Structure formats: C-alpha cells, structure tokens
Structure 1
Amino acid sequence: MSLFGRPPAAVAPSPTPAPVLSPALRVLLGLAAAVVALAGLYFARELAGPLVLAAVIVIICHPVRHPLERRRWPRWAATTGVIVVAYLILLVLGALLFFAGTQFVRLVADYADELQASAQAVITWLSSLGMDGQASDAAASVLQPSTIVSFVTSLGGTAIGILTALFFVFAYVIFMAADGSRYTRAEASFGVVARPTVRRFQVFNSSVRRYYVVNASFGAVVAIIDGLALWALGVPAPAVWAILAFVTNFIPNIGFVIGLIPPALLALVVGGWPLMLAVVAIYCVVNVTLQVLVQPKFVSDAVSLSLTLSFFSVIFWTFIIGPLGAILSIPLTLLVRALVLEGDPGARWLRWLSGDAVPAAPDPDDGPD
C-alpha cells in the first residue's frame, strides 16, 4: 500500500528479447558449417584417416596404463606400455593383411587357366539365355585373369598408400599415448568445471572400446567357422578367406558380402556351381545369422546407436575419408555425437533419434504427487 492508501501501479514485465536468428536460419547455418567442415575433412582425408585410426588404437590400449600405475610404475613407463601394445596390434594386423595379400596374388597366378575357362563358360551360358554379347562379356569379365590382376594391382597401390599412412599412425600413437596420461589429470587441474566434458569423453572412449571388443569377438567366431567350412569343402587357401572374414567383420552390416565374393568366385573356378552354392549357403547361414541378425543388436546396445545410423555411417564415412572410413565409421559417428549433441541440453531429441538412451525430461506440467 502507498501512503495515500492506493496500491502501487503494476510494473509491466519487460518484453522478452526476440532471438537474433530464427530457428530455421540457425539450422541452415549449422548445415552450411557442417558442409564446409566435411569438405575440409574430405580433402585432408589422407592425414585425417591415419589420425583417427591412431586415436582409436590408443583409446583401445589406454586401459593398459591403469594396472601399471597402480603398481607404482613411472608415468613414462606406463605410457611406453600403451605404445608397445598399440604397436603389437598394428604389427599383427599388418602381418595378417600381408599374408592374405600375397596368398591371394599366388592364387590368381596358379588358377589363371581355370579362371579363363570359367569366364568363357559364363559367356557361353549367358549367351544361351539370350543376352547380347556386351552384357555377357561384362558379366564374365569379373572372372578374367586380367581383371583380377588389375584389381590386385590397385590393391597394391592401396597397400603402398596404407604403408605410408602407417608411418603417420606409428608417429601419432607415440604422441597420443603421451598426451593420454596428461588428459587424465584434466579434472584435477580445472576442478568440477571440467567434469561434464571429461565425462563425455570417458563415455566416448568406453563406447569405442566396447564396439571393437564386440566386433573382434564376433569376427573371430565367424572367421574360425568360415575357415573350417572352406577347408572341409576343399576351397583353396581357407586361412586367407578366414582372415578376410575377420577384417570385413569390422565393416557394419555389409562386411560379410565383401568377404564372401572372393571365396565364392574361387569355389566356382575349382568346383563349379555346386561348390560355389555350398560356399554361399554356408556364408549366408553363418555370417547372416551372426553378423547381420545378432551382432548389430549387440553393437547397438554397446554404443547406443540406432541400426539405421550404423548402416548409414559406413556409406557416409567411406565417402568422406575413403576405405578406412568403413572400419572407423562407428567411432567417427560417436565422436560427432559427443562433440555436437551431448553438450547441448536442447539436443536431447536428436540424441534419442541417434539411438542414445537419453532419460526423459521431467514434464513441467506434472506437479509433485
């Protein structure tokens, strides 16, 4: 009440300032910035690919540090342990790929005549079905020794590029492993302010490790079953195709198709259609059951990514950074989500769409019980 007995005049609330940018314009600017960033990543893929691979390997090997530090090893010794384990992983993978590549080249040379005969048989069969010469020649060219040799040559060029990239990977691993020990002290240096960011990247690192543990486990099972089945059927070099099955298992959803084509074609050459159909049937039963029906559910639960996004990630990141993107697609997608979505409280809906188990926000209309 005022001195004259009248209530004071109500003060009008200050108007809410209008947003500088409309929601639609903010979305368009965000998409434009994303296109620019991805274009830069595309043109720098020869450097970015090895960098991401090294980061993933260090993330996988980083837990080696913890038991060593608990035993009071010096920090530099724990870092050296991480580097040694990372190098062992790279050397084992390189040895497996080298063995598979050299054996594949030898197989092409040994079965050149059979490949030529099979190609001619395919041309004759397709012509009998009424296909014109160009279509039948194109379909049969897959079995031509020259086509396979050119494919192997391109693989050789790719291998040289991979070896060059491995030089950067080995160097990156040293620096990242050393920095890993420093980053673990971020919360001690900055206090609770750094805790949300540290927690986001701890979740990211754990998801990456779970993803590769699941893939390696399923890949080992699939490789052993495929290799034993091919050995029992008499398909040459079953160990090569087992290694191929293991490696392609790290390509979500479509990896088994890539791993099926070479042994199926070789089975056609050495044993005809019955052997080829037997190989295809075994791969479909084993690989489709494990890699397509069972494994994606385990991967989805391990990294909290939707099946659709997992499949799209393979295509997208392969286009951006090349073949290495197929293997690194899930970690790259998880990294984008950690950087872009998980730090934004307004992006809960997008996180839920991506497959993340986001707790429901409380409804402001619901009062206490």
Structure 2
Amino acid sequence: MKKPPAPPVPSAAPALSPTLRVLIGLAAAVIALAGLSLGRELVGPLALAAVIVIICHPVRHPLERRGWPRWLATTTVIVVAYLILGFLALLLFFAGTQFVRLVADYADELQGTAQAVVAWLGSVGLDDQAADAAASVLQPSTIAGFAASLGGTVLTVLTAFFFVLAYVIFMAADGSRYARAESSFGAAARTSIRRVQSFNTGVRRYYIVNASFGAVVAIIDGLALWALGVPAPAVWAILAFVTNFIPNIGFVIGLIPPALLALVVGGWPLMLAVIAIYCVVNVTLQVLVQPKFVSDAVSLSLTLSFFSVIFWTFIIGPLGAILSIPLTLLVRALVLEGDPDARWLRWLSGDTVSARDG
C-alpha cells in the first residue's frame, strides 16, 4: 500500500534585516517619546514620585525586621517621602518670594546698570542693536518677566503636587507587595528582580552623592556671598543646591543670577569676584571631584549624562533636567540590560559591569 505523501513543511517566516529592525525600533521609540511629551503633566509627577519612593523605600526594612506591621512600615515610608517633598517645597517657596522681592527692591539699580552696559558696549564699537540686546538682560521688566515665568513653572509643579502625593501613597503600598515577587514566582523572576534592584540602588546612590555635594557647595557659596556683601545669600545658596542636581550645566544656571546681582550692587569687581569664587568652588567640586563619585554610583558616561539633561528637558519639561539621570538609567535597564547582544551598547553608555561580564 502506497504511503500518503507527507504534508509540506511550512517555510519559516523570513527574518527581518538588522537595518529594518533598527528602523522599526527607532519608529516605535519616536512614537513612545511623543506620547510621553504630550502627557508630560502626568508623566513628570509620576517620575518624581517614583524617585522619592525609591529613595525612601529602604526605611521599611529595619522596621519590618523589628516586627512592625507591613501597613505601619508603609505609612512610615509615606511620611518620610512627604517630609522630603515638604522641605523641597518650602525651599523653593522661600527662594521664589525672596527673588521677586529683590527685583522690586533693586529696580532702580538694575535700570542704572542697564544704561551703563549700553554706554560701555557703545564705547567699544558695538552697534546699537547688539548693545540693546545685551543691556535688555538687566532690564527690570526682563527680570520680572523671568520671575513671572519661574513663578508659572512653580505654579505648574504645585498644581501637579496633588498627583505626586497620590502617586507616593500608591507606590509605597505597591513597594511592599513587589518585595515578595521572588517568593511568589521563584527563581524565574530573580533576573528581573535584580535588574530592578540595581536600578533602584543606582538612583539612591546618585541622589545621595548629589545631595551631599550640593549641600557642601551651597554652604560654601552662601558664606562666600555673605562675606562679599551680595544680597540674599541664602537664596543663591538654595539655588546652588537645587541646580547641583542638574548634571554638567547646573553650575552655570546657579551662577548667573548672583553674578548679575553682584554687578548691580558692586560693579564689575564684585561680579568678577563672585564668578571667581564659584569657578574655584563649583568647578573643583562639581566638575573635578563629583563626576568620579557619580560615575561610580550610576556608571554613565559624561557625554550621555550631558545629553540626557537636554533630551529629557525637551521631552517632559523643566522637571526632566532634575530627573534626567534616573530616567536614563530606567531606559537602559528596560531596553539594554535584558538583551545579551546589547552588552557593547551598555559599555558604550558607561556601564563597566557589562565589560566585566563579557
């Protein structure tokens, strides 16, 4: 008896070429980033709340080891997170109100300095348009407009504060449940859990390093400005502390306002003294010393750190500058660390562990 012919074996689907896979991945990334940008009012507070909870989450471990109920340990994490948020809000409120008061108090001096700048620029041969453009920076209306814009940004953040508070509660509660993932799923979930733990550890180390260096820089800058007689040194010390969380360019952002105020109240010699002190203190600590500690904490290259500030500010607004490093670490953990073939990309981003694994 003749055997029936064997059924045809279906041919395997043709594999996508590497170039096509890259193009599809880039297209998907553009769509995802466009969605994040459109929803920045929700994504920004969510990312901020996640970072706060990650920082505060280790508080629960010693409490649970001492026999505290899980709900009470979670409540403690929420309280600590709220204390941090409240402290930051008070700092920003104090600095903002003092800055507006300074603009009002020194309006006449600002006008006189603007006129002096115009005369000096004209004496060195610059045309009227260049002189007017440079002098407009010191016009009271320009600085008042900047203050209003800053106030609008703070108002937007405060408007989203409700979402941050709600996110903190939910994430702190979920954090206690996620801690039991390995006992629920066994060894199969161990790799993913370690990736999450590595990301959380990197975020905590990054903010501990930045907060430590920021406090030192703020104290030194504040005392130096007070000794030089620059008005409101506490405001500029707070600004130096906050801008320390912005990699690479935070030093420049924190220097411009006190330098301009020093020019108004003390002329060029005082302005140059402020710039010199900031350069010595901030460049030494933030440019020469701090990057070594940050690199050890998060293993990101300096180029990627600088680019991440610009990129995430463009995507989710001003809050992205402060959250740029955690967001970049999150993308690397989700996209690269789960793919063995992407080890060289992780090394390119500054991850020294990937090189040792290879």
TM-score normalised over the length of structure 1 = 0.93
Question: Runs of at least 4 residues of structure 1 off by over 2 A?
Answer: 16-19, 359-362
What residue number does 1:4 align with? none
Query: Take 2:350 and 2:12, find their aligned partners in 1: how far apart are those partners?
Result: 35
Aligned partner of 1:245 among 231, 240, 244? 240
Is structure 2 residue 164 aligned with structure 1 residue 169?
Answer: yes
Query: Take 1:137 and 1:337, find their aligned partners in 2: how far apart are those partners?
Result: 46
Query: Take 1:351 and 1:138, find their aligned partners in 2: how far apart are those partners?
Result: 45
Deviates more, 1:72-81 or 1:147-156: 147-156
Query: Is there any run of 5+ residues in structure 2 with no aligned partner, and where?
Result: 1-10
Is structure 2 residue 11 aligned with structure 1 residue 22?
Answer: no
What residue number does 1:101 align with? 96
Query: Take 1:59 and 1:276, find their aligned partners in 2: how far apart are those partners?
Result: 40
Aligned partner of 2:145 among 145, 150, 162? 150
Is structure 2 residue 79 aligned with structure 1 residue 81?
Answer: no
Aligned partner of 1:328 among 323, 327, 333? 323
Aligned partner of 2:287 among 288, 292, 300? 292
Query: Take 1:222 and 1:59, find their aligned partners in 2: how far apart are those partners?
Result: 25
Is structure 2 residue 32 aligned with structure 1 residue 32?
Answer: no
Conserved? CA contact 1:253–1:296, under 8 Å: no
Q: CA deviation at 1:359?
A: 3.9
Deviates more, 1:275-284 or 1:126-135: 126-135
Change in 2 beyond 3 A, CA 1:361/1:145: closer
Change in 2 beyond 3 A, CA 1:244/1:71: same
Number of equivalences: 348
What residue number does 1:122 align with? 117
Query: Take 1:53 and 1:339, find their aligned partners in 2: how far apart are those partners?
Result: 18
TM-score normalised over the length of structure 2 = 0.95
> Which deviations, in whole Å up to 9, do the C-alpha atoms of 1:13-59 show, x marking residues without a partner?
xxx96851011111111111111100110111111000000000000
Is structure 2 residue 337 aligned with structure 1 residue 342?
Answer: yes
In structure 2, give the amino acid aligned to 1:317.
Answer: W
In structure 2, give the amino acid aligned to 1:46.
Answer: E
Query: Take 1:104 and 1:56, find their aligned partners in 2: how far apart are those partners?
Result: 28
Q: CA deviation at 1:250?
A: 0.1
Aligned partner of 2:305 among 310, 322, 327? 310
Aligned partner of 1:258 among 253, 261, 265? 253
Query: Take 2:247 and 2:289, find their aligned partners in 1: how far apart are those partners?
Result: 12
Q: CA deviation at 1:167?
A: 1.1
Q: Once superposed, what is the RMSD of the aligned Cα atoms?
A: 1.3
> Which deviations, in whole Å up to 9, do the C-alpha atoms of 1:121-166 show, x marking residues without a partner?
0000001111111110110001100111111111121111010111
Change in 2 beyond 3 A, CA 1:52/1:99: same
> Which deviations, in whole Å up to 9, do the C-alpha atoms of 1:299-334 show, x marking residues without a partner?
111101111111111010010000000000000000
Query: Is there any run of 5+ residues in structure 1 with no aligned partner, and where?
Result: 1-15, 363-369
Query: Which structure has the bigger radius of gyration?
Result: 1
Is structure 2 residue 184 aligned with structure 1 residue 179?
Answer: no
Is structure 2 residue 107 aligned with structure 1 residue 112?
Answer: yes
